[in-house]
Every structure is written in structure tokens, then in C-alpha cells.
């Protein structure tokens, strides 16, 4: 894999993390305004966004991690 492809992939991971967290926060803000429960849904959305982002980053980077381990073993 070329170096620029890896770099673009890592930039994409960064945007995905930001998007997941922001989506959770904005959804929480919207729900808080709708149900008048500030800051319950904002905090819940933030936590959910962080969990989704963390799991997704793990799944996205797993091929790079296993490839490096396989190269070191062989």
C-alpha cells in the first residue's frame, strides 16, 4: 500500500471520529430542546458518539495492525 493511501485513510479516520462525536452532541442538543431535559441527552449523545467512534476506529485500523504483526512474524 502506498504511503499517501495510508495517510488519506488516517485523515478519513479523523473525520469519522469528529463526525460521530458531533452527530451525537447535535442529536443530544435537539432531543434536549424537544423534551426540555438539558443536559441529559447532550451527555448521552457525547458518550455514545465517543463509543461509536472508538469502536469504529478499532475496526478501521485492525487491518493495519494485523498486517504489521504478520510482517514481523514472517
**Exposed, middle or buried, 74 (CB in 10 Å: 0-12/13-18/19+)?**
exposed
The Cβ of residue 49 has, within 10 Å, a number of other Cβ atoms equal to: 22
Low-confidence ranges of the chain (pLDDT < 50): none
Supply the pLDDT for residue 63.
Answer: 80
**Quick check: pTM over 0.85?**
no
Contacts of 39 (CB under 8 A, 6+ apart): 28, 32
Amino acid at each position: 500500500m502506498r504511503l499517501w493511501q495510508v495517510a488519506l485513510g488516517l485523515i478519513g479516520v479523523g473525520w469519522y471520529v469528529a463526525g460521530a462525536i458531533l452527530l451525537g452532541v447535535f442529536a443530544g442538543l435537539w432531543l434536549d430542546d424537544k423534551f426540555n431535559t438539558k443536559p441529559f441527552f447532550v451527555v448521552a449523545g457525547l458518550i455514545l458518539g465517543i463509543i461509536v467512534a472508538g469502536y469504529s476506529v478499532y475496526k478501521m485500523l485492525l487491518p493495519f495492525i494485523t498486517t504489521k504483526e504478520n510482517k514481523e512474524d514472517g
